[in-house]
Chains A and B, each alone.
Chain A
Amino acid sequence: MLPADLIRQVEKIAGLENVFTDEANRLCYATDSSLLSQINNWVPDLVVRVTNTEQVSNILKLANQHRVPVIPRGAGTGQCCGAVACRGGIVMDLSSMNRILNLDLENLQVVVQPGIVHADLNKALAAHGFFFPPDPGSTKMCTLGGMVVFNSSGQRSVKYGTTKQYILGLEVVLPSGEVIVTGGARSRALKSVAGYDLTSLFTGSEGTLGIVTRIRLKVLPIPEKRGLVVAFFDKLEASGQAVIQVFRRRLLPSAIEIMDRTAMKAATMYKPELELPPAEAMLLFEVDGSPAEVAYQAQNIAAICQQFANQVEWTDDPKRLIELWTARSVVGAAAGRVKPGATRVYIGEDICVPVIRVPEALRRIQELSEQYNIPIVTYGHIGDGNLHAAPVINTYDSAEIEKVKQLGDAVHRMALEMEGTTTGEHGVGLTRAGYMEEELGPALQVMRQIKRLLDPLNILNPGKMALDEN
């Protein structure tokens, strides 16, 4: 319970209509997609919807005085229990701060508020022939603020990298309420090496160091054309070989996606009309650029795949592109349907391993699936080694919940053992905090020192990312 005078002051800052202390409203902010948030009942004490930087600053000042946790939240689409109040406190909903403040396209940049939805930004940019390349699967609902503090990416990171490559500067409110701008206080420059790279520090900080209230983003012209190569492989290992050969031949697709046997089965169960041929793996290579470039790349990739695959097709016809992408685009949703009376849960869902070891990781995940007797549908971005494993369980069965927690742990440990990481793009949050000692080594201590420096009272998103010693 928060002190009554603190609640009154927050109401004064944000307006009565934007402050929620009732049970129903608070409960709706208790979860994200992670299994962890769903099996706990981490209901915040208060939810406040903010509309400007000043409000964020005043609320942080207040919370700091009262030593009350503040958890920034966008659309709550995360999968690692990041925007969840595991120690109570105030959840700050920034999704109403959703405006584009400046379209500075001659200068290849835009300035946006953190609550803008990724798809809305790209729709606005597309009207001018530009785009913000990182492309998370949650494009329709995730916010830019969330993408920044989790350094999100998606299928096209093979060629275009992750969110951090596009952030030119940030306005950040520190726990003290102080507002700073990184990347140059008044800069509109496309690059700068002035000072420590604080932009990168706050990017991926998961709301533990400051609250991002404004984002200066680099954008790119939309490629003229896209093409797609789809290949089916009898042997999982052959798909890995094909990817390696493509890179060796100096080809750079914008995305390389893999679906293993389980994922193909799930997609077919969901959409039987897909009629996928029997195979151990399916690869999708997306290429983009000028029409000539697309044709050149696609034909060459198709030729390489011919050596390893038993069926290959390439196209640059927009209609066929959509048809061929269907299998990949439905698989996330289809996963939950492989077992009646069960659903997909998010744990161990974001490991990333060296590209060359992706086939091995896929095999080992299937072995774990058999060992724990839990169906797992696996697909992902083979182009950068990032795999999404989707265990499917009956969430009303506590024994299955226990089992899947062990399974998730085994997947995470496998990734570390394979010289990979527990999270490629979703984040640490609370779900993966327990692996940080092992994964980061002594670097974690440096992170903790930075945290103490910027947030000495530990009010910002406490408990996440293993930043507390306890």
Chain B
Amino acid sequence: MYMPVDLKQELMPCVRCGQCRSVCPVFLAKGVESDAPRGRVTLVRALLEGRIDPTDILNEKIQQCLLCRTCVQECPSGVHVERIIIAAREKLAGVTGISREKKLVVRWLLPNLQRLRLFLPVIARVQGLLARRVNNSDYQAPRFNVPLAGRRLLPVLTGHTIATMSSGGKPFPATASSLKAEKTGVVAGANMTPEAAATDNGLKKQARVAFFTGCLMNYGYPHVGRDVVEVLQRNLVEVVIPEKQVCCGLPMLAAGDRNTFNRMREENLRALRSIHSDAVITACASCGSTLKEFYAGELEAPIYDFSEFLLAIDFRPPRGTMVQNVTYHDPCHLRKAQGIKSQPRQLLKSVPGLTLKEVSNPDRCCGFGGTFSLTYPDLARTIGVTKVKDLMQTGADTVVTACPGCMLQLASGLYSQGSQAKVLHLAELLAASYRAEE
């Protein structure tokens, strides 16, 4: 069970130097001390010492943190601001409660696998009424302020999950009875690639991995998950998708709901332990950081990000030429939380024909912040626009990243700025290059 941190000890190293002011995306957008990490740390300290009441304004300041860890990376004294904020949110949740939008997501929708699987197909059916497709892309723009989504672009729901998509199955709705079936995992896409068949025949299999899909990828971007599976198979890796996996729990933790987080964690640990695997793979930066920080030690198999894993095994570079100018956006939870910055670039450079143009400030946060963008859509948009303007400066026709959350935010931001640039997950580009070999 994850227990709260010793807040007093976490607070002590902050010497109030203010270096975090130079990087915090929220502070740079708002410019007031209480919006800087130093300000938030000061407020938490005062709250703990009983020098301030948990007012609405204080609550808002504590909630208005993206948990992007840019300040943590910058902090000379090694203050873990994200731990302080999470612990403070938990304290505040006990006093002021959790906001309605967040409750809907972290208590009602995400923790319940059946509800999620039954709810999304309904949305998939009526999405045309709520939103219109943009530029023949896989995105749709809401026709009005949609609850929980606001006016941001959303992926067009296909009714597929990664499992149904990569095994050539039908899109859900899954029936209640099929959900109850006591399967532990599906071996993904047994016939999807020639390599998968070869792996099946026992030919030089490199590894067997459990794929932790994450909610957004599984339901919003299942085709990306399918490509993750394909790239792994092309590298002679057998992929199993544990069926009973649920949300990694980060949204709950970020909302200050530790109980629900611990429940998610237990369910996922059970699902992951039920499958024999050499490694647990995820292609979502936020899920990856959560698994590594709060699950590792409880699992026998090591946890890897998709890009990290590919370079840890015997990686076969794709040979299909992809003539594209791409730029890469570092997801905060990949670069700052997991220290992964060279691997995605190395993989991109392995694709023939592809030109990588570095953006200035590649690790500047996109402003998504998970439920942050539900609660503060305008602020998230402002931060996002700063980011996409940098990306557009590169002149790249494709923005590659490695987190579905960033994909959602960048697609919206680029669209709002009139850019035609596509947003792709690293796995999509690699998979396309493998497919172009044939």
Query: Which of B26-34, B116-124, B259-267 is the contact stretch?
Result: B26-34
Q: How far is the CA of A49 from the CA of B55 in the complex (A)?
A: 22
Contact with A along B1-43 (1 / 0, CB 8 A): 0000000110011111111011000000001111010110011
A41: chain B residues at CB < 8 Å are: 51
B61 lies within 8 A of A141 (CB): no
Spot the interface stretch: A27-35, A235-243, A358-366: A27-35
Determine the distance from Cα of A444 to Cα of B19 in the docked complex, in whole angstroms. Answer: 34
Partner of A117, one of B22, B39, B51, B61: B22
- When the two chains form their complex, are residues B12 and A24 in contact, meaning their CB atoms are under 8 A apart? no
Q: In the assembly, what is the distance between CA of A93 and CA of B39, in Å?
A: 14
Which of A194-202, A292-300, A332-340, A369-377 lies at the interface? A332-340
Give the contacting residue for B12; candidates A117, A138, A330, A343; CB below 8 A. A343
Which residues of chain A are near B21, meaning CB under 8 Å? 75, 141
- Complex-state Cα separation, A332 to B51, whole angstroms: 30
**How many interface residues does chain B have, given as a range?**
20 to 34
Chain A: interface secondary structure?
loop
B96-151 residues at the A interface, CB under 8 angstroms: none
Measured in the bound complex, the distance between the Cα atoms of B9 and A395 in whole Å is 10
Q: Is A24 a contact partner of B16 (Cβ separation < 8 A)?
A: no
Complex Cα gap A251–B245 (Å): 68
A352 to B68: give the CA distance in the assembly, Å.
40
CA distance A142 to B14 in the complex (A): 17
Residues of A within 8 A of B15 (CB): 33, 336, 343-346
Q: Shortest Cβ distance from A227 into chain B, in angstroms?
A: 26
Contact A24 B22 (CB under 8 A): no
The answer to whether A28 and B43 have CB atoms under 8 Å apart is yes
| Cβ–Cβ contact B55 & A23, under 8 A | yes
Given contacts A41-B51, A93-B33, A337-B78, contact A24 B57 (CB under 8 A): yes
- Would you call B174 an interface residue if the criterion is a C-beta within 8 Å of the partner chain's C-beta atoms? no
The answer to whether A76 has its CB under 8 Å from any CB of chain B is yes
Q: Within residues 19 to 63 of chain A, which ones have a CB less than 8 A from any CB in chain B?
A: 20, 22-25, 27-33, 38, 41, 47, 49
A434 near B: Cβ within 8 Å? no
Q: State how many angstroms separate the Cβ of A269 from the closest Cβ of chain B.
A: 12
Which residues of the partner chain A approach B55 to less than 8 Å between Cβ atoms? 22-24
| Per-position binary interface string of chain A over residues 61-82, scored 1 when its CB falls under 8 Å from any chain B CB and 0 otherwise | 0000000000000011100000
B95: interface (CB < 8 Å): no
Q: How far apart are the CA atoms of A124 and B36 in the complex, in Å? A: 24
A22-B55, A396-B8 given; A28·B19 CB < 8 A: no
Is A95's beta carbon under 8 Å from chain B? yes
Nearest CB of chain B from residue A394's CB, rounded to whole Å: 8
Do residues B31 and A49 form an inter-chain contact, with CB atoms below 8 A? yes
Asked if A103 CB lies within 8 Å of chain B CBs, one says no
Instruction: Kindly provide the distance from the CB of B40 to the nearest chain A CB, expressed in whole angstroms.
Output: 8
CA A138 to CA B74, docked complex, whole Å: 13
How far is A25 from B35 in the complex, measured between Cα atoms in Å? 9
Q: Are A25 and B22 in contact (CB under 8 A)?
A: no
Q: How far is the CA of A117 from the CA of B32 in the complex (A)?
A: 15
> Are B19 and A27 within 8 A (Cβ)?
no
Return chain B residues, CB-CB under 8 Å to A324. Answer: none
Within A225-264, which residues are at the interface with B (CB < 8 Å)?
none
Output the residue of A25, A28, A49 with the most chain B CB within 10 A. A28
Among residues of A, the one whose C-beta sits closest to the C-beta of B74 is: A140
B residues within 8 A CB of A49?
Answer: 31-32
CB of A119 within 8 A of chain B? yes
In the complex, A117→B20 CA distance in Å? Answer: 13
CA distance A394 to B12 in the complex (A): 8
- Given A25-B34, A29-B33, A333 and B76 contact (CB-CB distance below 8 Å): yes
Whether the Cβ atoms of B12 and A31 lie closer than 8 Å is no
Nearest chain B CB to A408 CB, angstrom units: 15
B52 lies within 8 A of A33 (CB): no
Residues of A within 8 A of B14 (CB): 343
Q: How far is the CA of A231 from the CA of B43 in the complex (A)?
A: 44
Q: Is A341 an interface residue (CB 8 A)?
A: yes
Question: For residue A96, which residues in chain B have a CB less than 8 angstroms away from its CB?
Answer: 31
**Binary per-residue interface labels of chain A (7-22) against chain B in the complex, 1 for a CB within 8 Å, 0 otherwise:** 0000000000000101
A384-426 interface code vs B (CB 8 A; 1 in, 0 out) = 0000000000111000000000000000000000000000000
Is B53's CB within 8 Å of the partner chain A? yes
Q: Could you tell me if B32 and A31 are in contact, using CB atoms closer than 8 angstroms?
A: no
Which residues in B have their C-beta under 8 angstroms from that of A142? Answer: 18
* Pairwise interchain contact A28-B42, C-beta atoms closer than 8 A: yes
Residues of B within 8 A of A95 (CB): 31
Q: For residue A464, give the distance in angstroms from its CB to the closest CB of chain B.
A: 18
Cross-chain contact A77 with B17 (CB below 8 angstroms): yes
A333 — which chain B residues lie within 8 A by C-beta? 76-78
Are B34's CB and A141's CB within 8 A? no
Bound Cα distance from A257 to B430, whole angstroms: 49
* Cα distance A30–B43 in the bound complex, in angstroms: 11
Let me know if B76 and A332 touch, CB within 8 A. Answer: yes
B46 contacts the other chain (Cβ, under 8 Å)? yes
List, in ascending order, chain B residues with CB within 8 A of A119's CB. 22
Are the CB atoms of A395 and B52 closer together than 8 Å? no
B379, CB-defined interface residue at 8 Å: no
For residue B186, CB closer than 8 A to chain A, the reply is no
Closest to A25 in B: B34
Tell me the bound Cα distance from A41 to B52 in angstroms. Answer: 11
In the complex, the answer to whether A396 meets B12 with C-beta atoms within 8 Å is yes
A74 nearest in chain B by CB position:
B18
Q: Given the complex of chains A and B, what is the CA–CA distance between A397 and B278 in angstroms?
A: 48
Q: Which residues of B contact A47 (CB under 8 A)?
A: 33
Collect the chain B residues with CB atoms within 8 Å of residue A337's CB: 78
Find out whether the CB atom of A25 lies under 8 angstroms from the CB atom of B16.
no
Which residue of chain A has its CB nearest to the CB of B21? A141
Interface residues of A in 113-168 (CB under 8 A from B): 117, 119, 138, 140-142
Give min CB distance, B321 to chain A, whole Å.
35
Instruction: Map CB proximity to A onto B68-82 as digits: 1 under 8 Å, 0 otherwise.
Output: 000000001110000
A278 → chain B closest CB, angstroms: 26
- Asked whether any CB of chain A lies closer than 8 Å to the CB of B322, the reply is no
Chain B's closest residue to A330 (CB) is B76
A394 nearest in chain B by CB position: B12
- B355 to chain A minimum Cβ distance, whole angstroms, is 25
Interface status of B192 (Cβ within 8 A of chain A): no
When A and B form their complex, which 9 residue pairs have the shortest distance between CB atoms, in order from nearest?
A333-B76, A28-B39, A140-B22, A28-B33, A24-B58, A28-B34, A77-B18, A24-B57, A141-B18
Interface residues of B, Cβ cutoff 8 Å to A? 8-9, 12-19, 21-22, 31-34, 36, 38-39, 42-43, 46, 51-53, 55, 57-58, 61, 76-78
Known contacts A33-B16, A77-B18; 7 additional CB pairs below 8 A are A24-B52, A38-B16, A77-B17, A96-B31, A330-B76, A343-B77, A344-B77
Report 12 cross-chain contacts, Cβ distance below 8 Å, ordered by A residue. A24-B43, A24-B61, A27-B46, A31-B42, A32-B16, A33-B18, A38-B16, A93-B32, A119-B22, A141-B17, A141-B18, A346-B15
